[in-house]
Amino acid sequence: MKNIVILISGRGSNMEAIVQACATEAWPARITAVISNRPGAAGLQFAQARGIATAVVDHKSFSDRDTFDAELARVVHGFAPDVLVLAGFMRILTAGFVKQFEGRMVNVHPSLLPAFTGLHTHRRAIEAGCKTAGATVHFVTAELDHGPIIAQTVVPVLPGDSEATLSARVLAREHLMYPRAVRWLVSDLLRMEHGVVTHVSGESQLV
Ligand code: GAR
């Protein structure tokens, strides 16, 4: 049984999708905690209602990133994670934090990486005239929104799309892709060679 710890900052819809898939697909894993850097994160209530341990490490209580990350790491380690899942966790993590969880920490980012790292990805894709958009699940490295790609999902950018309509289209696909990618990870179905991640039995990583 692998322990999964999930970090959120807000709504937590990807966390919900992972919690539900873990239960209904009987993964060899359990969600041991959901941790937020915002006390008001809506996702905390969902986790509590499901009987999952929750914790808050409020970034506003810390004067710098290093002390915040040190406390976050202490709390995360307390739940003994085999896999650490960032699900809409909107804090930049220090290299010191990342090193402690390298190879077992994953993130979902709402763009086709390496395009559009950072914020406002959907607005920027529309403004650039992109005809496709999407999202990426990747291992977390010290470089923001970079790291070996586990899965990607692609959607069209339609004429008249707004940031809201495009992000809703992408989010629906994130809810399919992210649980699948985390299941692969906890089931030891991923291999990495020269920074490239492949599924051991060739399941499509384009979701
Ligand atoms: C998701 O769209 C996720 O891709 C994005 O935040 C949203 C969180 O939604 N993550 C990032 O932008 C990370 N750089 P959720 O809280 O409902 O899962």
Q: State the average pLDDT over residues 191-207.
A: 97
Q: Which residues of 47-56 are buried (b: 16+ CB within 10 A; e: fewer)?
A: beeeebebee
Question: pLDDT-based confidence at 3, cuts 50/70/90?
Answer: very high
Quick: pLDDT tens for 119-158: 999 999 999 999 999 999 999 999 999 999 999 999 999 9
Q: What is the pTM of this model?
A: 0.98
Q: What tokens appear for 40 in the block?
A: 């008001």
Catalytic residues: 109
Are the C-beta atoms of residues 181 and 150 closer than 8 Å to each other? yes
Ligand 1 pocket at CB < 6 A? 8, 10-14, 87-88, 108-110, 135, 171, 174
Query: From the CA of 13, how far away is ligand 1's center (Å)?
Result: 8
Closest-CA residue, ligand 1 atom 12, reads 109
pLDDT at res. 195? 95
**CA-wise closest residue to 110 among 191, 168, 57:** 168
Question: pLDDT-based confidence at 60, cuts 50/70/90?
Answer: very high
Query: From the CA of 79, how far away is ligand 1's center (Å)?
Result: 23
Question: pLDDT-based confidence at 166, cuts 50/70/90?
Answer: very high
Percent of the chain residues topping a pLDDT of 90? 100
Query: From the CA of 94, how far away is ligand 1's center (Å)?
Result: 19
Q: State the average pLDDT over residues 47-63.
A: 98
Are the C-beta atoms of residues 154 and 206 closer than 8 Å to each other? yes
pLDDT at res. 156? 98
